């Protein structure tokens, strides 16, 4: 994933041209997503990011130990999907900017399996989670494709969309 830290400034602002740059970074990134980090570093107590996803970006279902996270959709449409321990969908949230009248913000405060599926050409979100970042605190679902087989990923996403009627 392409990452650019904007920290170190007393006041950070992000405007339209910055979002265009972020989407361009996502297009060129191997994982097809990019982020501007507003926090100082991985050890920061609060991690705040603006993240752009291309529609073909895949985020393997995962869960975080002892973490909360919230998303606020800035641009585009996104499906957030929650699963039980066996990989059965338990809930989904269709998200879009507040101007479109849908759900524009969600907060997760439990260790639940979840993923995000971009539904538009680009999705830009503002994410906040607690730090520090410790890689081992994230677990990836053993029942979901790891991303190395593109056909398996496409089938997995297609099945989720079918089941959630997206």
Considering Cα of 112, then 132, then 13, then 6, what sign does the dihedral take? negative
Q: Give the domain CATH number at 154.
A: 2.60.120.10
Q: Which domain holds residue 120?
A: 2-164
What is the pLDDT at residue 122? 98
Q: In what side-by-side order are the strands of the sheet with 69-75?
A: 2-5, 33-37, 46-54, 122-130, 69-75, 105-108
Kindly give the confidence (pLDDT) of every residue in the chain, 166 residues in length, as a single tens digit, with 9 standing for 90 and above. Answer: 678 878 778 889 999 999 999 999 999 999 999 999 999 988 999 999 999 999 999 999 999 988 999 999 999 999 999 999 999 999 999 999 999 998 999 999 999 999 999 999 999 999 999 988 888 888 999 999 999 999 999 999 999 999 999 8
- Provide the whole-model pTM: 0.94
Long-range contacts of 15-18 (CB under 8 A, 24+ apart): 18/50
Domain count, the chain: 1
């Amino acid at each position: 994933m392409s990452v650019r830290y904007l920290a170190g400034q007393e006041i950070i602002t992000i405007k339209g041209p910055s979002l265009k740059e972020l989407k361009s970074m996502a297009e060129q990134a191997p994982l097809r997503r990019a982020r501007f980090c507003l926090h100082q570093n991985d050890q920061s107590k609060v991690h705040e990011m603006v993240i752009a996803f291309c529609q073909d970006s895949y985020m393997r279902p995962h869960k975080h130990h002892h973490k909360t996270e919230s998303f606020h959709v800035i641009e585009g449409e996104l499906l957030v999907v929650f699963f039980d321990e066996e990989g059965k969908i338990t809930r989904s949230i269709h998200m879009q900017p507040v101007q479109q009248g849908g759900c524009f913000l969600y907060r997760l405060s439990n260790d639940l399996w979840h993923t995000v599926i971009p539904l538009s050409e680009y999705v830009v979100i503002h994410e906040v989670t607690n730090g520090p970042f410790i890689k081992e605190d994230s677990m990836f679902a053993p029942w979901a494709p790891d991303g190395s087989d593109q056909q398996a990923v496409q089938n997995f996403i297609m099945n989720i969309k079918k089941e959630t009627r997206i």
